[in-house]
Structure 1
Amino acid sequence: MRKLLIVTFLALIVFFSGCIGSNSSATPTTTTSPVTQSQPKEVTTETKTVTQTQTVTVTMTRAPTHYPLTITDSLGRKVTIKKEPQRIVSLAPSITETLYFIGALDKVVGVTSFDDFPPGVQKGRTIIGGFSGPNIEVIASLKPDLIIGTSMHIKYLDKLEQIAPVIIVDPKNIDEIYEWIIKLGKVVNREEEAKGVVNYMKAIVEDIKTKTSNASKVKVFFLLSTYGGYWTAGKGTFIDSLISIAGGENIFHDVEGWKQVSPEEIVARDPEVIIFSAHAGIKPEDLCKTPLAETTAFKNGRAYMVSDDNLVSRPGPRIVLGLEEIAYFIHPEAFNYAYQAKAAACASS
């Protein structure tokens, strides 16, 4: 009789604790097990059940805290965001594009005169000047609660910090671009959207890596500009990393950053593929009149112009589209594409 009373009492505890908790269907299993166990085991089992139910209840009622949020920017500065930004000034097209892709464009009140994506992005927003020369007075008039710039804006940092918190974003490769998309997602409370964008980008990158993994490395020269000489991208630039991911070998990987190189150096390193910017300042056919006509790339008609310079010059989500294009130029056979070179083979010129 005593044992029956104990079992009944314990069953009532389980019944009421189930009502207090999350209506779990696992309670009946616990009430039947004490019949075949000794009294001490019954008490221990029921105590654990009650404790577990209370823990779940506490966890579900705890509210997450997102702000204030402190992040480290590309300069190593600790920047604290006290509350979710509602009025953002973007000092670079790449930043505006990133905010657009993660669903925070509605927070942007100021952009540069160079911002052109998404189409119509300047409409309803204040132009705060050019990319390298923002107008401090105009920015201040917008009363922003966050300003996001690049390494181009370090010289304005002191003045900008008097207006609002300033984050400097300066990724050097595609992995750092991923990191900054996630960071900006946290800053503007769009972290899940940012993760989705990064996952989409990584899927494209992995597809390209898979298709070019068994292909031989192709020597590539990337011509950025001919103003004042031949400018190219070396180690530490995202263009250098794009060439590598696409299955190429940057012939100037041994130089740092953006560098001016001589035509003699280019010919000596003899690229098999030449890719040049649409804003390089020279027409494809005009390159045949330069020493570059002596390279294997030109002799085989493998000089290509990117369709949109912004796809490879802006470190944002669209850079994977530039990567795709570079990969097609370097290894068209891996993608079943047959690109026609934008410059004729110069051997017969």
Structure 2
Amino acid sequence: MKTCKDQLNRKLLFGRKPKRIVSLVPSQTELLVDLGLEAFIVGVTKFCVHPNHLRMSKVVVGGTKEINIEKIKALRPDIILCNKEENTKEMIEDLTGIAPIHISDVYNLEDSFELINMYGDIFEIERTTSTLVSNIQLEREAFQLQNQGNAKLKVAYFIWKKPWMVAASDNFINVMLNEAGFINVFESEKRYPEIDFNNSKLKEADLIFLSTEPFPFKEADVLELQSQFPEKKIKIVDGELFSWYGSRLLKSYPYFKTLQN
């Protein structure tokens, strides 16, 4: 009997190494593929867009907030991979009893590395996961060395429109903004506050970032904000590289170099 814990410290029991995986978190789905586990994935969400072909070769069981329980049952999974923030408590309750549920809870890089290593233990690919963590750390160190001594610009990072919302503290985006060498002007606030254009913190920002996800900001949105803040640099940024943990972190630091340049 194999035992392990998830990031909520819940104990999971397996009769064997899991070979039929349902993943309900896009960044974790991509991680599985990059760890060489694509053949074992049987179910994904409609938002599991990396790699793009996966939604054609695997069963799509719904989104990250709503799922088709019967579809998941029919897949006879050995494990279901979830996330505390992306999936709902009600979903977890509905899934209980179908298969062991591993719940991730990622707020910083250490959490991300822990999750990767947990997958190494569960799927018995410790060498592969250890190498991935090491490679991410090398990219991080190279970026930090190159960016050493650069002045830190202040940034406001928008994630939503109608209402306008920004990333503040207690989330992975804020950690990655700091990793990228920026200061989040909303870091003193919690989570994802709604704001208006009169917010005093916006005046402090040197840069305004509009993320490609969860709201897909476009050039028209840049123009709208530019009319409100003509003196500021406004840029659409790749939201996946600021908010996806797992193997996508390998691409984050090279991207941060381009932003700094």
TM (norm. structure 1) is 0.68
- The CA deviation at 1:83 is 1.6
Unaligned runs of 5+ in 1: 1-66, 333-349
| Alignment correspondent of 1:179 | 114
| Change in 2 beyond 3 A, CA 1:266/1:179 | farther
Q: Does 1:74 align with 2:24?
A: no
Alpha carbons 1:115, 1:122 under 8 Å: kept: yes
Q: Does 1:276 align with 2:222?
A: no
Alpha carbons 1:266, 1:292 under 8 Å: kept: no
Alpha carbons 1:247, 1:327 under 8 Å: kept: no
| Change in 2 beyond 3 A, CA 1:163/1:289 | closer
Q: Which amino acid aligns with 1:160?
A: L
| Alignment correspondent of 1:199 | 134
- Return the index of the structure with the highest Cα Rg: 1
Q: Which amino acid aligns with 1:239?
A: I
Out of 251, 263, 266, the residue aligned to residue 185 of structure 2 is 251
| Alignment correspondent of 2:198 | 264
Aligned partner of residue 261 in structure 1, secondary structure: coil
Alpha carbons 1:267, 1:292 under 8 Å: kept: no
| Change in 2 beyond 3 A, CA 1:82/1:236 | farther
Aligned length: 258
Per-residue deviation, residues 97-141 of structure 1 (Å, max 9, x unmatched) = 111111112111111111121231123311111121111111001
Aligned partner of residue 317 in structure 1, secondary structure: coil
Alpha carbons 1:85, 1:146 under 8 Å: kept: yes
Q: What is the alpha-carbon distance in structure 1 between the residues aligned to residue 236 and residue 217 of structure 2?
A: 11
Q: What is the alpha-carbon distance in structure 2 between the residues aligned to residue 290 and residue 96 of structure 1?
A: 34
Alpha carbons 2:155, 2:208 under 8 Å: kept: yes
Q: Does 1:94 align with 2:23?
A: no
Percent same amino acid among aligned pairs? 25
Alpha carbons 1:87, 1:143 under 8 Å: kept: yes
More strand by share: 2
Per-residue deviation, residues 276-331 of structure 1 (Å, max 9, x unmatched) = 1135455435444448733xxx525x22112x4333332221134234324432x2
Out of 71, 84, 93, the residue aligned to residue 17 of structure 2 is 84
Q: Which amino acid aligns with 1:305?
A: I
More helix by share: 1
Aligned partner of residue 117 in structure 2, secondary structure: helix
Per-residue deviation, residues 26-55 of structure 1 (Å, max 9, x unmatched) = xxxxxxxxxxxxxxxxxxxxxxxxxxxxxx
For the aligned residue pairs, the C-alpha RMSD in angstroms reads 2.1
Q: Does 1:241 align with 2:175?
A: yes
Q: What is the alpha-carbon distance in structure 2 between the residues aligned to residue 75 and residue 310 of structure 1?
A: 24
| Change in 2 beyond 3 A, CA 1:241/1:324 | farther
Out of 49, 71, 90, the residue aligned to residue 138 of structure 1 is 71
Unaligned runs of 5+ in 2: none
